[in-house]
Amino acid sequence: MFFMTIRDEEKRLKVEELYYAYRNLMYKVAYEILNDHHLAEDAISESFIRIIKNLHKIDETKSNKTRNFLVIICRNVSIDIYNSKIKIEECDYPEEDVEDKKIQNPADIVVSKESIERLSIAISKLDNKYKDVFILNRVYDIKTEDIAMMLGISYDNVRKRLQRAKEGILCEYRKGEGK
């Protein structure tokens, strides 16, 4: 029993490993947005507070998937801090864009390797605010309410962003088809 306790104590926590592995990268991401050393540090610590609650979503410490997850969280926390510092309102997104992007016939998409490749390109072209929620939801299997908590935005906002991301991807896909 005693030795087990010691082993547990010595074992570095997953969150600690993540911090030491990615703090420089996260700092870079945060600093690019905030342009302030202390605020970037704040963004890192706030990101980890949010990451801890979703630690079970992370399997390996050193993987692209994990690195991207941390970057998404850190980027959004930094934007949140940036907005709160300069009193920018949480933006509502123009409805007309959405109307334009609505796809008329989803049956146009053919199930093929090429389609997946084209859809993935369409995803990468999305604005970060839509791409991040979409990736968190689809790749990391995080529920809408958890994304809202994680990114500090409302449930409805996440739902809208997901919907608009999907519409944006399908619209981009169709554009490519026309070429």
Partner 1 sequence: MSNDALNQVIDMLLTEAAEVANENESFEVAEDDVEFSEKHEEKMKKLFKKEKRKNSFKKTLKNYRFFVCLLLLVGMIVCAVNYCVKRQYDPERKIVDEDKIGIKENSVIVKHENSTLGNLCFEYIPEGFRIVSQWTAEESAEVEIEDGNVKILYCKVPIEENQAVDAENGEMVTINGLKGTIVKNVDSNVLMWQDDKYLNTITSSSDNGSVIAGEEIIKIAENIRNVITDKSEVYTIDNICFKYIPDGYKVIEESISDRGVIKSVYVIFHDGTTEVSYYKVSIRVKTTIFTENAEITNITVNGKERVLIKKEQATTLVWHDDEYRYNLSSSGQNGPISEEEFIKIAENIENI
| 82 interacts with partner 1 by CB under 8 A | no
Angle between helices 14-34 and 64-85 (to 10 degrees): 50
Binding track, positions 12-41, relative to partner 1; x by CB under 8 A: -x-xx--x---xxx-xxx-------xx--x
Phi, psi of 152 (to 5 degrees): 70, 30
Residue 116 makes contact with partner 1 by CB under 8 A: yes
CB of 179 to partner 1, least distance (A): 19
Residue 151: closest CA among 128, 174, 169, 175: 128
Q: Which residues, in sequence order, are CB contacts of 136 under 8 Å at separation 6+? A: 69, 72, 142, 147, 150
Residues 127, 134 contacting (CB under 8 angstroms): no
**What secondary structure letter does DSSP report for 152?**
T
The yes or no reply on residue 98 touching partner 1 (CB under 8 A) is no
The residue ranges that bind partner 1 (CB under 8 A) are 4-5, 8-9, 13, 15-16, 19, 23-25, 27-29, 37-38, 41-42, 44-46, 48-49, 52-53, 64-65, 67-68, 71, 81, 84, 87, 89-92, 106-107, 109, 111, 115-117, 119-124, 131, 134-135, 138-139, 145, 149, 152, 154-157, 160, 166, 169-170
